[in-house]
Each structure stands twice: as C-alpha cells, then as structure tokens.
A and B are shown apart, each in its own frame.
Chain A
Amino acid sequence: MVIGAPNNVGMKLPRLSARLYLLGLITAAVVPVWLFAAYLLAQYALNERSRFESEALQVAHQMSLVVEGEITNLATVVDGLSKSSAMSRGDLMTLHKEAARLVLGTDRIIFLRDVGRNQLLSTQAPFGTALPPVSALSTSEIAKLRSNLPIVSGVYAVSGIYRIAVSIPVRGPNGEDWLLAISVRTDHIRDIMMPAVPEGWTIGVGDREGAYVARSSLHEEMTGKPGLPEYLEKVAGRSGTFTSRNFQGMTLLAGYYRSGASNWFYTANVPLSIVQAPLWRSLSAIAALALVAMLISSALTYVVGKGFAKAARDLASRANALGQGRPVKAMSTAISEFAVIADALVAAERALAEREFELEAVLETAPAAVWFTYDPQARRVIRNRFAAELMGLPTDTRKSFGTTDLVIDTIALQDGHTVSREDRPLSKAMRGEQTDNQEFAYILPNGVQRTLLSSARPIRGTSGKVIGAVQVSLDITARKQGEEQRRLLVNELNHRVKNTLAVVQSIASQTLRNATSLPEAGRSLTSRLVSLAKAHDILTQENWSGADLKEVVTAALSPHANRERLQISGDAVWLSPALALSLSLGFHELATNAIKYGALSCKEGTVSISWAVSRRGESKHVRIEWRELDGPPVVAVERKGFGTRMLEGLLGPQSVGNVTITFEPTGLVCVFEIELGESAGPDNAS
C-alpha cells in the first residue's frame, strides 16, 4: 500500500519547526516584560539623577553655610578689635599689641590698611617695620566698603602660602577710610569645611575670580589655582547643576551655590559613574537575568522541541508502518495530544489487522485459488493456501498469504493454444481488462496438468488508476477428468453393447440354423441368453477385469442341476472376460446336453468337473475335464449339433485351445485344453 501525497487543500501556510514557534512564543512573552523592566529602569535612573542633582545643590548650599559662618566668625574677631579704645584713639601700637595677642599661637594675621595699597600695621611684623604694599581694592569691594559690609578677599599668596582675608571698614582718628582685616591660610577654610563633606563628594570653594580657595581633596595642589574655564563657564547664576569633566578627565555631576555675602561659589561634585552606578548595576543585573532567561528558554525550547520532533517522527514512522501493513507499536510520549494520535494509530492498526484476519479467513476457507499482484508485469504475486497447493508449493499456513513471491513458470493453454504470460487473466487485469470464468489448462514445472476456471479483476486506487489485480480460479481438473472418463465409459459401453448384440445375433442365428422346431429354438435361445446374462453378471461384479473359473462353472450350472449332483474341484484360475463368456456358454451347452441325453437325464447320474493348471514354457495352461457318471447307456451322436459345434468354435483349435469329446461307457467326457496366456484384459468379448 502507498500513502498518498497530502492533498493541496486550502492556502499554503509557511512551514516552520515547532521549535521556532516555541521560540517565537517565548520571545513574545518575554520581550514586553523586558521592555517594561527597561522602562522602569529608565524612570529609576532619571529619578536617581534628579535626586543626586538636588543633593548636589543641597551639599553646595550647606558648604556655603559652613564656610560663610567661619567668615562671619573671622569678621567678628576683627569687629571686636575695631571697637577697642586703642582703635578709637588711633593708638596703632597698642592696637598692634592687642592684635598680636589675638593671633598669638596661630598663623592668622591681622593687618590694617588704607583704601590704597598701604599697610599700616601687621601682626606679621613688629610694629613700626616698613610693610609691603597690598593689592588694590576692586570697585565691588569699594562699593561694599561704602555700605559698611565685611569684604571677603580672593585667594592671594604671601611668601608662597595662599591666604584669604576678611576685612571690615574702620575709621581712622582723622576720619580716614581704613580696613581692619584678618587673614587665614586657605587650609583653614578647608579644615572648617572637611567635617561637613559627605562621603563620595568632592567640594570645591572658588573665589569671585574663579580661583580655588579650598578643595576637599587635592587641596594643596589646587588652592590658589584658577578653575577650569569650561567648569567656570557653567557656574552661572546663584545655584544650579551641570555635568562636566574635571582636570583628571573624569565626568562629574556638579551642583553649585554662589554666596551673596562673599561672592564665593561652592561646588559639590560627584563622579557620574557613582550617580549611574545603580543604573548600570540594575541594567547589568537585568541583562544577566535576561541572558539567563534566554538561555533557559532556549534550552527548554530545544528540549521540548526535540521532544516534539521525536514524537512527530515516531508518529510518522507509525503511520508509514500502518500504510505498509506492519505492526504499530505503542508509543510513550509526555505530550498527551501526540499520545492520543499514537493510540488512534494503534487502534487503526488493530482494526486493519482484524479486517485482514477476516480477509485471510475468507481466503483460507474459500475452495478457490486466489492471487493478488501489485506488479505491473504481474510477476510478483501473493497466493492464498489453495493457490500454493495448486501450484505444488509448500503451504506454510502463516506464510502462504501476505508475502510476495515470483510466479512459477507454467505453460497455459486455452482451447489447445498456448497463452503467453501477457495474455493471462492476471496480466490482463493489470491492464484494466476483466476476465470471467474462462477455462485454462496449466502444465506445471513438475509435469502435472491442471484445468482452472479463472476470473480476474483489476484493483483500482482512489483515483481510479489500476494499482493491482486479483485472480480467482477454481480447480476443475477432477471435473474435467470425470467428464473425460464418462465419455470414455459411454464409448466403451456402446462398444460392449454392440459386441454383445453381435454375440446375441450369432447365438440366435446358430440356434435357429440348428433347431428342429420353432418352440425348441425359442427355449434354447432363451436359456442361452440367460446363460450369457449370468456370465455378464459375474464379469460386471469384477468390473470386467475377468472372472474366477469356479464361479463361472457354478453360475453356468446352477440353473440346471442340484449341487449334490455336481462335483466341482480345481485350483483357482483367473479367466479373461472373453474366455469366461466362452466357457460359460460352453458349460451351458454341456449341461443342456446332459439334461437331455446324458447323466442329468436320470436320477442317479452325476457330473464331475475338475481342472488343473500346468506350465508349458512361458504360458500357463489349464486342463478342464467334464465327466458324466451313472447316466443312461451312452449313444454316440452322429449329427454335430450346435452345442458341439459351438464348443469347438468357442474353445477349439482355431481359438484358444483344444476340445475333445469322447463317449466312454460311463458317460460323456469332454476335455478342454486351454492356453491362458499372460494377460487378462476386459476388452475382449468378441
């Protein structure tokens, strides 16, 4: 059987493996989750950044409060000094002493200057020493001076050490505009600031010119140095945030605050990497998670897909087995839908097998030979048991049906003409021709001849195309032989009847020829015909193969005499049918004669019939003696009656032997010397 190609019904769908579909399904389920996670992350990152930005602003502001507080402290110191009597008196020497006392033990410097560049006194030098000029005041400082506000200086260096100064305006004794100032090292500002610096943050303090006053890290290197121009550009307005690169090439998130009092600015920097670290951590975690999820789902897809593919392959192999009539094994699968299909296939196979068993039972039982073929040449065939028997092949019951075998070389005859293989019923059926009850004689390789009555039909597939053929044949050999035998029998019977009629004709002719009167002729003829009929009976009993001599004698004599008046003795001798008939008639004649004239005509007379077999060379002879005893006085008969003539004619020298009739004083003696020959056929009654 062949499994047909799938029907091209409906539209063509792209064919992808189950694995790809699974992968697609998983991707469809996972990707939105990832996207959502990414969205949340982005939101989180933005929040983080703004949190950092506000923190930066807050830190910068706090720093400004801390540092500006110290500046106020410094201003308070010089403010206290400015209220001293020495100051109001203009006693600069005493002022110097008091100032010196205030800064004693520290590196602070208190000095007095005018609005020009002159120093009037400094704790750095003994009173009265000539002092170096100081830097001129800027216009904004002068403006502050006018409004009696403390003036905070920028960074400046005194003998290599960076300092800042906080000045307050004071009046000289003569109404001069002086400035009383206290100077500290920039380190001091740094030291004030450091405890308030949050971890991870870098704090920078810049003067109004943009130079570094203090820095939470690398203070020593940076103090007094101008800030990066790019950085300074972005510090605009009172406060704000920005990102920038520092001089180390690191990207920073920065918040700044500019103090109104000192006009200094405070920056709080944090490396962007720290700001973004949670984002990257989350991103990498998500990515790792996604990767792991992807790997797991891929592995699952692979395993499940492999299971699908294997189950599908197993199902396909089972469907093929079903198509080819092989047994379908049960299938173990974890997928219930496939298990349902597999179970259905097994059930289908069982149903098919049952149909096949039915067909096999029919093919085994039907007393007809059946051949199937699916071979276009009709050379490979499947036979049922009868067909195998018919062809003289072994009939292994299970093997005889269902397996293909090569045809046997036979000679086929129809109406006496040879039929080539192409013209035999099975081959013709493969070409779509049908055969009905045609008689063929087959001669098998072993010489056996069989007569078959054959019919054949093509087997058509669903498309109507011829895919095979079936031939059913009845073995009518016995019937044909019977018919032939009947014909021969009828012929034989006809022959025998004619022969018998010829014998009857002869008996009638002889009887009439020798009769003295018509009534006597009638009696003789009747008794002779009865005798002939009895001999026929004996021969028919033996199927005309011959008869036993004793039986022939007994049957021929029984109508004429009692058993006690006959003495019958001799070996068993088998007579041919012709001889049996002749002897039967012969004994009938002798008995008739004995009843008329011989031993059986009186009460005392008896007849002894005896015989013996002897061999003369190759052939057997039998000598039969008919001896009449105790009869009336013997008178030799002159005229040769039909009886005598018949005896001589039947059994005399011209036919099978010798007949001698002598009239001894005791009675008539007749001796037959008969050659038995070798054979004893049934067809010799002439």
Chain B
Amino acid sequence: MLVAMLIEDMLADLGFEVLGPAMRLDTALKMAREETFDLAVLDVNLANEQSFPVAHLLQERGIPFFFATGYGLRGLDERFKEVMTLQKPFEPHQLADAISSALPRRDK
C-alpha cells in the first residue's frame, strides 16, 4: 500500500495519469475489465491473493503490463515467464525504462 503510493508518485512525476491503485484482487479485476488505460504495473501479491488472473485478463485485452515484486523470478507463474519483472525496491528511471520497453513504439 505504501509501495503503491510510491509507485503512484513516481508515475505522476514521470507525467503519467494514474488510475488506482487497486489494493485488492476484485477491485483490480474490475478495473482491468472496465477501465481504459495504456499500461498496468502489477504487484504479484494483492491482500493475500495473487494477481495472475489480472495479468491473464490484460493479456486477453492486449494491454501491456509488467510485474513489480519482492520475490525472485521463481515466484512467477509459468505462463508469464516472458513478462518483464521489476525487482522491488527500484529507482524511478528503472520504472521509466520498464514502461518504455513495455509500451508499443509510437510517435510522440
């Protein structure tokens, strides 16, 4: 939650508009299904639940995303081996790099 606030601040500083954060799986799933956005940063753990259903939903909708977690890569589901993972804690420029490599290339 505190970390979510940090990421929210970092994203705001990078000039992004932030939807959320969603602290619970049901909220996150609702947002992933209904809201319109360009990119999602997913923590693996959401109030004792894992965020993989959200990742799955995002994959279906074709919305880019990446994980931010304290676990190593081994904590991830097999299906998301290809998905980028940002190790906590991280610096704002690491977040920026992750976003730019996750977002499809487009003209500014």
Where the two chains meet, the residues of A that have a C-beta atom closer than 8 Å to any C-beta of B are: 491, 494-496, 498-499, 501-503, 505-507, 509-510, 513, 576, 578, 582, 585, 645-646, 649-650, 654-656, 677, 679-681, 683-684, 686
CA A506 to CA B10, docked complex, whole Å: 10
The CB with the most chain A CB atoms within 10 A, among B20, B22, B47, is that of: B47
- B1 cross-chain contacts in A, Cβ below 8 A: 578, 582, 649-650, 655, 686
- B47–A509 touching, CB < 8 Å: no
CA A655 to CA B4, docked complex, whole Å: 10
- B70–A686 touching, CB < 8 Å: yes
Please give me the 8 A-B residue pairs with the lowest Cβ-Cβ distance, nearest first: A655-B23, A506-B6, A502-B88, A499-B70, A498-B70, A502-B89, A506-B2, A649-B5
- Determine if B17 is an interface residue (Cβ-Cβ < 8 Å): no
CA A499 to CA B69, docked complex, whole Å: 8
> A498-B70, A502-B88, A686-B70 are contacts. A585–B2 as well, Cβ < 8 Å?
yes
> A495-B71, A498-B88 are contacts. A509–B45 as well, Cβ < 8 Å?
no
Binary CB contact string for chain B from 9 to 26 against chain A (1 if under 8 A, 0 otherwise) = 100000000001111100
CA A501 to CA B6, docked complex, whole Å: 12
- B43 cross-chain contacts in A, Cβ below 8 A: 686
CA A507 to CA B1, docked complex, whole Å: 11
The CB with the most chain B CB atoms within 10 A, among A501, A506, A656, is that of: A506
- B4 cross-chain contacts in A, Cβ below 8 A: 649, 686
- B100 cross-chain contacts in A, Cβ below 8 A: none
- B6–A681 touching, CB < 8 Å: no
- B48–A650 touching, CB < 8 Å: no
The CB with the most chain B CB atoms within 10 A, among A502, A649, A655, is that of: A502
- B2–A649 touching, CB < 8 Å: yes
> A684-B47, A686-B70 are contacts. A654–B27 as well, Cβ < 8 Å?
yes
- B75 cross-chain contacts in A, Cβ below 8 A: 495
Smallest CB separation, A467 vs chain B (Å): 51
Query: Could you pull out 23 A-B pairs where Cβ atoms are within 8 angstroms?
Result: A491-B71, A495-B75, A499-B3, A502-B3, A502-B89, A503-B3, A506-B6, A510-B5, A576-B47, A578-B48, A582-B2, A646-B2, A646-B5, A649-B2, A649-B5, A654-B20, A656-B23, A656-B47, A677-B47, A679-B48, A683-B48, A684-B48, A686-B4
- Determine if B62 is an interface residue (Cβ-Cβ < 8 Å): no
CA A683 to CA B47, docked complex, whole Å: 9
- Determine if B104 is an interface residue (Cβ-Cβ < 8 Å): no
Where the two chains meet, the residues of B that have a C-beta atom closer than 8 Å to any C-beta of A are: 1-6, 9, 20-24, 27, 43, 45, 47-48, 70-72, 75, 87-89
Cβ-closest chain A residue relative to B74: A491
CA A491 to CA B88, docked complex, whole Å: 14
- B48–A576 touching, CB < 8 Å: yes
Cβ-closest chain A residue relative to B20: A654
Instruction: Known pairs A506-B2, A507-B2, A655-B1; list 11 more (Cβ under 8 Å).
Output: A501-B88, A502-B6, A645-B5, A649-B2, A649-B5, A654-B20, A654-B22, A656-B47, A684-B47, A686-B3, A686-B4
Smallest CB separation, B41 vs chain A (Å): 12
- B45 cross-chain contacts in A, Cβ below 8 A: 683-684, 686
Smallest CB separation, A592 vs chain B (Å): 16
- B9–A498 touching, CB < 8 Å: no
CA A646 to CA B5, docked complex, whole Å: 8
CA A501 to CA B45, docked complex, whole Å: 16
Smallest CB separation, A652 vs chain B (Å): 9
- A649 cross-chain contacts in B, Cβ below 8 A: 1-2, 4-5
- B70–A510 touching, CB < 8 Å: no
Cβ-closest chain B residue relative to A649: B5
CA A679 to CA B47, docked complex, whole Å: 10
Cβ-closest chain B residue relative to A679: B48
- A510 cross-chain contacts in B, Cβ below 8 A: 2, 5-6, 9
- A491–B72 touching, CB < 8 Å: yes
